Amino acid sequence: MKVDGTPYRSLWWDADAQAVKIIDQRWLPHDFRIEQLNSLADYARAIKDMHVRGAPLIGATAAYGMALAMRLDPSDAALQDCWDFLHQTRPTAINLRWALDRCRARLVALPLERRGPEALALAHEIAEEDVEINRRIGVNGLQLIQQIAANKGDGSPVRLLTHCNAGWLATVDWGTATSPMYHAHDAGVALHVWVDETRPRNQGALTAWELGSHGISHQYITDNAGGHLMQHGLVDMVITGTDRTTRQGDVCNKIGTYLKALAANDNNIPFYVALPSPTIDWTVRDGVAEIPIEDRPAEEISHIQGSSATGDIASLQVTPVGTEVANPAFDVTPNHLVTGLITERGVCAASEAGLASLFPDLAPSAAAQV
Domains and CATH numbers, the chain: 2-129 (1.20.120.420), 138-369 (3.40.50.10470)
Quote the CA–CA distance of 276 and 56 in Å, as a whole number: 8
Quote the CA–CA distance of 140 and 233 in Å, as a whole number: 25
Task: Identify the pLDDT of residue 170.
Answer: 96
Tell me the per-residue pLDDT of 300-346, one tens digit each, with 9 for 90 and over: 999 999 999 898 999 999 999 999 999 999 999 999 999 999 999 99
Quote the CA–CA distance of 215 and 184 in Å, as a whole number: 12
Task: Identify the pLDDT of residue 3.
Answer: 86
Q: Is 243 a catalytic residue?
A: yes
- Cis peptide leading into 29, omega within 30 of 0? yes
Q: Under 8 Å CB-to-CB from 368, ≥6 apart: which residues?
A: none
Task: Identify the pLDDT of residue 300.
Answer: 95
pTM, two decimal places: 0.94
Task: Identify the pLDDT of residue 266.
Answer: 98
Low-confidence ranges of the chain (pLDDT < 70): 365-370
* DSSP structural state of residue 277: G
Task: Identify the pLDDT of residue 1.
Answer: 81
Task: Identify the pLDDT of residue 4.
Answer: 81
Task: Identify the pLDDT of residue 80.
Answer: 97
Quote the CA–CA distance of 108 and 106 in Å, as a whole number: 6
Quote the CA–CA distance of 287 and 45 in Å, as a whole number: 27
Of the residues 42, 243, 250, 331, only one is catalytic, namely 243
